[in-house]
Chain A
Amino acid sequence: MAVLAASASAPPNSRRQRPPRQRSTQSTRRQTRAAYLLITPFLIVFVAMLIVPLFYSGYLSLFATQLIGGQEFVGLANYLQALTDPSFLGGLGRVGLFLLIQVPIMLVLALFFALALDSSRVRGSKAARLAIFVPYAVPGVVATLMWGYLYGNDFGPIAQTFRAIGIDAPNLLANDNILGSMMNIVTWEFVGYNMIIMYAALRTIPTELFDAAEVDGASEWRVAWSIKIPAIRPAIMLTVIFSIIGSFQLFNEPNLLYRLAPNVIGNDFTPNQYAYTVAFVNQDVPYAAAIAFLLGLVIMVVSYVVQLSTQRKENLS
């Protein structure tokens, strides 16, 4: 908002130049005031709904609560307990694995689709774009019902196909396969979403670059590799960061698949699901808050490391 207000004041043709430093202080002040006024509603909600609860949760996480005896200040004991809690660490390991395997697959697929649609070689690209994006718009409950049916061991079409050709059907909802099955669902759900982000970025690349490449005789692949992908790097980074957060925060899919394979998923499949169980089943809100904070810390560290490493690459090139 503040940026918008400032740039709108500059004459359109001088957008690339820095605004003159000396200005009428009175108008600057007025603009600043207007800007703050405009963002006030957001700030109020932001502070009331995010900042205050965040601090309150942080405060809560320093207590221990008992059904008999109430709350007691324990400092960082909850955090120490979480660091040795096999349920929390197991969940982190699972989402870590999820991140390492599923995110690259999903993003490469998304990038491939985005490039394919952008190359305008695909006939009916609008329909294809919609088809790839539609799963993102399917409500989670419906998606799980659908996948539950597809994965079902007794009546699912996948199992039946296997049996029809005389091979033992793999139980897609068993201990060893559930993470893979979940990766599949999440990929199906979010490929379209990531594709749209990348596709939108691709559409903003100036066409002169392609004309120049064509004159130089570059192939479509070469154009994609040397022009398009580098040009949309910020968009790709955005999807990477979103996916990291999304993976660590995995909750909906395990929570919904729980109905199909309750004993396989359990109540601590992912850290978020575990925090939910701790808060609402075990009724230990402070410990759940501590788990949530630790998870947030992990997400921040991982995201920061990823960002840092790509920045360094950019600096080197």
Chain B
Amino acid sequence: MRTTARRTALSLGTIVVTAGLLLTGCTSPGSSTTDKTTVSQADIDKALDTPTKLTFWTWVPDIENEVALFEKKYPKIDVEVVNVGNGADEYTKLRTALKAGKGAPDVAQIEYQYLSSFRLTDSLADLTPYGAADLSDEYVEWVWNQVQTEDGSVWAIPQDSGPLGNLYRSDILAQAGITEAPTTWAQYAEDAATIKAATGSYISNMPGNDPGQMVGLFWQAGAKPFGYDGDKTVKVDIASDETKKVVDYWNDLIQKDLVSVDPDFNDSFYQSLASGKYAGWVTAAWAPVFLQGTAANTSGKWTAAKIPQWNEGDDVSGNWGGSSDVVLKTSENPIAAYELAKFINNDPESTLKFATDQFLFPTKTDTLADPAFVDQEAEFYGGQKVNELFAGVSDTVDVSFEWLPFMDYVYSSYNETLGKAIADKTDLSTALQAWDDEVTAYAKKQGFTVE
């Protein structure tokens, strides 16, 4: 921007920004009525036998391999895979294309928590006419609830998920005399103190820039901070008893300097994982493989465990991350588009490939039970069957967790309130309330009825 500005005449100073803004303001999306009529098998066969070109926006690396399986089965369909950016970058471009009325793909990858924001703008095709509802038994219950609304409509096909778990450095814990992973959060806090005193390492890091992780912990604690009825009513209950419990717990650890508060997923974070600054990481099912790449020098020293519980003897988890594939309403070939979204996330060969090649944590029950997946022994974790552990965790995730149709704002606001309090080590429960207030105010300003 600075460079551009220097070349731009004085009076045109702000044009760079305003011109950019224009992109999002062009036309309103064309509205069309929901078509609930079922598509017949004959229509599907015909669509798949007609030469068709599909565009698929996704940021999964090497997804071309799974798409190739689809193209092999349906040679007349030609799929163009485009990576326009991860997460928020893609959504921004997607919204722009949808507003412009052209340029949107047929199929797109969208994380679960952002589905409702695209439903709000009426941008997603309801997949039930194509038979998506019949797939419900094939997926883990809580995951399916993420893509199906109460009225029975299905908006996406689940691709991967991230049930929470706990990865830790068994060598560092052993130095502190700890041989078993903590099973309760109370135990976890005690261990944190022991580890810090004995080794100087933090039991985990609690970043101030990762609302997804915090919301996952809320999820585990049984909180229901968000809700959306699909129309104009939202539920904002961010500062509830359950969330306060979570926040106060971490507040205590942060104040005692038993967990670090470094931003995650940057270079310094990776180095801290590799160097033993963190003795563990409260994380999700996609993390075991991720860690192998970032902390390769610590191979064999890690162990995976279930996440600590609030009540002794419980076995509940939350979720952090995961995506689904949607069909955009603007697609001119919705049948073929649906078949693509379904095939790559449903075909046994494709889903297993996702699980073992791209290390996407499966959402389909038969893949989660596939010996080729669960029996994998991870050398990085001293030969532990990590997939088997997390496959078990997947069943313990609370099945009804909802989102707001404007999670971009909710997460951005988190970074300014609760996240900032974490980074600055100020009182978290005040900040939790501030987050709640900001989100409530935004929802009202946007015309929602807030419950």
Contact of B359 with A by CB under 8 A = no
Say whether, besides A50-B19, A67-B406, A263 and B5 are in contact (CB < 8 Å). no
Report the separation of the CA atoms of residues A57 and B275 in the bound assembly, to the nearest whole angstrom: 50
CB-based contact A148/B420 at 8 Å = no
Residues of chain B lying within 8 A (CB to CB) of residue A242: 5-6
Count A-B pairs with CB separation below 8 Å: 165
CB-based contact B14/A293 at 8 Å = yes
Residues of chain A lying within 8 A (CB to CB) of residue B95: 283
Report the separation of the CA atoms of residues A66 and B424 in the bound assembly, to the nearest whole angstrom: 33
CB-based contact B416/A267 at 8 Å = yes
Q: Which residue of B lies closest to A303 (CB)?
A: B10
Say whether, besides A246-B2, A281-B409, A260 and B266 are in contact (CB < 8 Å). yes
Say whether, besides A154-B277, A267-B416, A292-B17, A53 and B120 are in contact (CB < 8 Å). no
CB-based contact B10/A148 at 8 Å = no
Residues of chain A lying within 8 A (CB to CB) of residue B420: 263, 266
Residues of chain B lying within 8 A (CB to CB) of residue A53: 15, 18-19, 22
Contact of A145 with B by CB under 8 A = yes
- Tell me the minimal C-beta distance from B329 to chain A in angstroms: 17
Contact with B along A210-248 (1 / 0, CB 8 A): 000000000000000000000000000000011001101
CB-based contact B28/A299 at 8 Å = no
Residues of chain B lying within 8 A (CB to CB) of residue A50: 12, 15, 19
Report the separation of the CA atoms of residues A145 and B20 in the bound assembly, to the nearest whole angstrom: 26
Report the separation of the CA atoms of residues A85 and B289 in the bound assembly, to the nearest whole angstrom: 44
Contact of B187 with A by CB under 8 A = no
Report the separation of the CA atoms of residues A272 and B416 in the bound assembly, to the nearest whole angstrom: 17
CB-based contact A57/B2 at 8 Å = no
**Of the 9-residue stretches B37-45, B66-74, B337-345, B439-447, which lies at the interface with chain A?**
B439-447
Residues of chain A lying within 8 A (CB to CB) of residue B405: 67
Please report which residues of chain A, range 292-313, place their CB below 8 angstroms from some CB of chain B when the two chains form the complex: 292-293, 295-296, 299-300, 303
CB-based contact A245/B5 at 8 Å = yes
Please report which residues of chain A, range 173-220, place their CB below 8 angstroms from some CB of chain B when the two chains form the complex: 175, 186, 189-190, 193
Residues of chain B lying within 8 A (CB to CB) of residue A41: none
Contact with B along A52-92 (1 / 0, CB 8 A): 01101100100000111110000000000000000000000
Say whether, besides A246-B6, A296-B13, A262 and B419 are in contact (CB < 8 Å). yes
Contact of B295 with A by CB under 8 A = no
Chain A: how many interface residues by the 8 Å CB criterion?
Answer: 62
CB-based contact B445/A263 at 8 Å = no
CB-based contact B19/A250 at 8 Å = no
- Tell me the minimal C-beta distance from B389 to chain A in angstroms: 30
Name A285's contact: one of B10, B21, B422 (CB within 8 Å).
Answer: B21
CB-based contact B25/A285 at 8 Å = yes
Contact of A251 with B by CB under 8 A = yes
Report the separation of the CA atoms of residues A68 and B10 in the bound assembly, to the nearest whole angstrom: 38
CB-based contact B1/A259 at 8 Å = no
Report the separation of the CA atoms of residues A50 and B13 in the bound assembly, to the nearest whole angstrom: 11
Residues of chain A lying within 8 A (CB to CB) of residue B24: 279-280, 285
Say whether, besides A251-B1, A280-B24, A175 and B424 are in contact (CB < 8 Å). yes
CB-based contact B16/A249 at 8 Å = yes
Report the separation of the CA atoms of residues A253 and B10 in the bound assembly, to the nearest whole angstrom: 21
- Tell me the minimal C-beta distance from A56 to chain B in angstroms: 6
Chain B: how many interface residues by the 8 Å CB criterion?
Answer: 54
Name A154's contact: one of B17, B272, B415, B448 (CB within 8 Å).
Answer: B272
Report the separation of the CA atoms of residues A24 and B179 in the bound assembly, to the nearest whole angstrom: 100
Say whether, besides A67-B120, A263-B423, A277 and B412 are in contact (CB < 8 Å). yes
Please report which residues of chain B, range 413-435, place their CB below 8 angstroms from some CB of chain A when the two chains form the complex: 415-416, 419-420, 422-424
CB-based contact A249/B446 at 8 Å = no
Please report which residues of chain B, range 97-120, place their CB below 8 angstroms from some CB of chain A when the two chains form the complex: 120
Contact of B232 with A by CB under 8 A = yes
Say whether, besides A70-B28, A154-B268, A262-B419, A57 and B22 are in contact (CB < 8 Å). yes
Report the separation of the CA atoms of residues A242 and B8 in the bound assembly, to the nearest whole angstrom: 9
CB-based contact A68/B447 at 8 Å = yes
Contact of A49 with B by CB under 8 A = yes
Contact of B208 with A by CB under 8 A = yes
Q: Which residue of A lies closest to B96 (CB)?
A: A280
CB-based contact B267/A148 at 8 Å = yes
Q: Which residue of B lies closest to A70 (CB)?
A: B28
Report the separation of the CA atoms of residues A278 and B267 in the bound assembly, to the nearest whole angstrom: 28
Contact with A along B194-212 (1 / 0, CB 8 A): 0000000000000011000
Contact of A105 with B by CB under 8 A = no
Report the separation of the CA atoms of residues A19 and B15 in the bound assembly, to the nearest whole angstrom: 38
User: 5 new A-B pairs (CB below 8 Å) besides A283-B408, A289-B21?
Assistant: A68-B447, A155-B275, A242-B6, A245-B8, A282-B409
Q: List 11 A-B contacts (CB under 8 A).
A: A49-B19, A56-B22, A68-B232, A68-B447, A155-B275, A246-B2, A248-B13, A272-B17, A275-B21, A281-B88, A283-B406
Listed in ascending order, the chain A residues whose CB lies under 8 Å from chain B are 49-50, 53-54, 56-57, 60, 66-70, 145, 148-149, 152-155, 175, 186, 189-190, 193, 241-242, 245-246, 248-253, 259-264, 266-267, 272, 275-277, 279-283, 285-286, 288-289, 292-293, 295-296, 299-300, 303
Listed in ascending order, the chain B residues whose CB lies under 8 Å from chain A are 1-2, 5-6, 8, 10-22, 24-25, 28, 88, 92, 95, 120, 208-209, 232, 262-263, 266-268, 271-272, 275, 277, 405-406, 408-409, 412, 415-416, 419-420, 422-424, 442, 445-448
Please name the 5 residue pairs, one residue from A and one from B, whose CB atoms are nearest each other, closest first: A296-B14, A68-B447, A263-B423, A262-B209, A57-B18
